[in-house]
Structure 1
Amino acid sequence: MHRVAPAIILSVRPHGEHGAIVRALTREDGVQPGYVRGGRSRALRPVLQPGNGIIGEWRARTVEQLAALTIEPGHSRAGLHGEPLAAAGIEWLCALTAAALPEEQPYPVLYDALDAVLTAIESAPSARGWAGALVRYELLLLGAVGVRARSGAVHRHRRDDRSRLCQSQERRGGVGGGGVRVRGAAVSPAALSA
């Protein structure tokens, strides 16, 4: 297997004394793992940051083997990791994408959307400029993996679940006055609505 493609780094794990296992999202081939020799060195550490764009070259003898990955720096967003809010947004986007997407399945729309949100984080002066884009990306990602969400459904279900929980506790002879027992402690309905 031989593949060369631009990619966005999603996660980096140390491996051995000097290497790193990198998972990167490519436009045509989806999430691709690879072993980077010297990935923990001073020269490569700034390049191997979640959210950075790279040109990756994956080489493996067989498809089942973890590919050796050589990288060339592309678009660096390493400077944003010094800003707490931007760093948290980048880390969240990359970790969520790495956890949700299976390997080797193309998601060109998600690649473009992730790149756009990362660019918005990079260019916006505050979180107001990119928070909405981050939420829309989360919904797009969840839709791509098969989870469907309706607008306002989360809050409505949360209230309904609380009232059902209180009613079921009352029927079973739980805490009087509409409260519930949580790990042996009584919790009032006012605490549940917070």
Structure 2
Amino acid sequence: MEFEDDAFVLAARSHGDTGAVVDLLTAQHGRRLTYVPGGASRKMKPHLQPGSRVRVAWRARDDSQLGSARLEPSGDDVSQLFDSAVALAGLSAAAAVVQGALPEREAEPGVFAAMEALMPALTDDAVWPAVFIRFELGLLGSLGFGLDLESCAVSGIRDDLAWVSPRTGRAVSRTAGAPYADKLLALPPFLLGSQAAVVEGDVGHGLALTGHFLEAWVFHPRDKPLPPARDWMIERLKRSGLL
């Protein structure tokens, strides 16, 4: 079996003297762990950083095997982010969350598209944290765990939604949720419409929201914690005054 596809590098580790085992998110063939001959070379290492965009030519005797792949750089590399430690932390967190959340060999074109949308945003530290939250919401939706933020779970109204039930993932209006505010998750207004501005506190609330459901619905059932890279990103955002 063989295919060619676009892909993002999620992780890579040396294997033997010259090769590397690379975890890829492909556009049409899902997450793939594959052996890359020459992946440990100086020429290839810069293109095996998490978030690097590549073109992959993969082959194996059958689809269940590790297989081997030839990778070629495609598009901008991650070196454009080297001047921003917080953006690099965001990129590492995105790659780690995808790697931990997705099973192998199941096509996830929606997750690939979400990565495509996140990458250019990472060049602007004032913008990408909010895009990252939308990226995680999209990941939850692609895995079948989309949140219902259309109307209040209690009253059915669509206005003044301010909370999310940590149990059901459904929105709750400000009035209906007020008596239970200490038990509900805050819903940042920017997640309800593209025109809403991101104000102070929204990024922290948004990351708490997506983090709760990623942990409860995706990682915990697999006996996994949320990736440490995500915690490091949050710490970087806090230090930079972006949380």
Length-normalised TM-score, structure 1: 0.73
Q: Structure 1 residue 105 and structure 2 residue 106: aligned?
A: yes
2:37 paired with 1:44: no
Tell whether the 8 Å contact from 1:47 to 1:78 is kept in structure 2 after alignment.
no
Contact 1:49–1:78 under 8 Å retained in 2:
no
Q: Which residues in structure 2 correspond to 1:99-138 (within 5 Å)?
A: 99-122=100-123, 124=124, 126=125, 128-138=126-136
Q: How many residues get paired?
A: 158
Structure 1 stretches of 4+ with a deviation exceeding 4 A read: 148-151
Offset at residue 70 of structure 1 (A): 0.6
Match status 1:159 vs 2:182: yes
SS at structure 2 position matched to 1:91: helix
**Structure 2 residues without counterparts, runs of 5 or longer:** 149-162, 167-176, 185-243
Q: TM-score, normalised by structure 2?
A: 0.59
* 2:72 counterpart letter in structure 1: E
Counterpart for residue 139 of structure 2: 141
Q: What percentage of residue pairs aligned between the two structures are identical?
A: 33
Aligned to 1:57: 57
Displacement of 1:158 after TM fit? 9.2
- Comparing both structures, which one devotes a greater share of its residues to strand? 1
Equivalent positions of 1:177-188 (< 5 A) are none
1:99-138 Cα distance to aligned partner (Å, 9 max, x none)? 101111111121111111111113x2x2x21111100111
Aligned residue for 2:84?
Answer: 83
Q: Is the 8 A contact 2:25 2:32 kept in 1?
A: yes
TM-superposed CA distance for 1:149, in Å, is 4.2
74-83 vs 97-106, which deviates more? 74-83
Q: Which has the larger radius of gyration?
A: 1
Counterpart residue identity of residue 87, structure 1: L
Contact 1:50 1:94 in 2 (8 A): yes
Contact 1:59 1:69 in 2 (8 A): yes
Aligned to 2:13: 13
Show the counterpart of 1:192.
none
Asked whether the equivalents of residues 52 and 78 of structure 1 are also in contact (C-alpha less than 8 Å), the reply is no
| Corresponding residue SS for 1:138 | helix
* Cα distance in 2 between the residues matched to 1:20 and 1:37: 7
